[in-house]
Structure 1
């Protein structure tokens, strides 16, 4: 569930332009590159998820491949479930 205070996402043409600029600057998946793998990035990913307090600014984005994005999103969803259950138990 999205927090009411989560940052507003950039969408539309502005998002497409930011994606284009990001991939021109850094075409490879950053997490894969750190592991010595050469994989083309296909997604603009928020390093710290908006739902977890991240902002939709260039300092908080990275180029990422679909496989890394899926793995990262799965971990973020698990943390979200833990936060939801913690709130349920406290309430």
Structure 2
């Protein structure tokens, strides 16, 4: 799945939104699996490592808020 994604779309989608052309190195779930996202082509995007790390940090923070009751 990873190779097919990078073949279709080799650039980081977040960097591209910001006008930069940076190769994607991480297969990312747009909607995280932990939040009900599917593990298929309709829910994947390529991100560079920096964008993936930033997105993962935000997702982890959301997860902690969910498990602590929003506190």
Compute the TM-score of the two structures, normalised by the length of structure 1: 0.75
For residue 20 of structure 1, report the CA deviation from its aligned partner.
0.7
Match of 2:42 among 43, 54, 59: 59
Q: CA RMSD in A?
A: 1.4
User: Any unmatched runs of 5+ in structure 2?
Assistant: none
Give the distance between the partners of 2:32 and 2:4, measured in 1 at CA: 20
Runs of 5+ unmatched residues, structure 1: 1-17
* Bigger CA radius of gyration: 1
Deviating runs (4+, > 6 A) in structure 1?
Answer: none
Q: Counterpart of 1:48? A: 31
Report how many aligned residue pairs link the two structures: 71
Alignment partner of 2:69: what SS?
helix
State the Cα distance separating 1:32 from its structure 2 match.
0.5
TM-score, normalised with respect to structure 2: 0.95
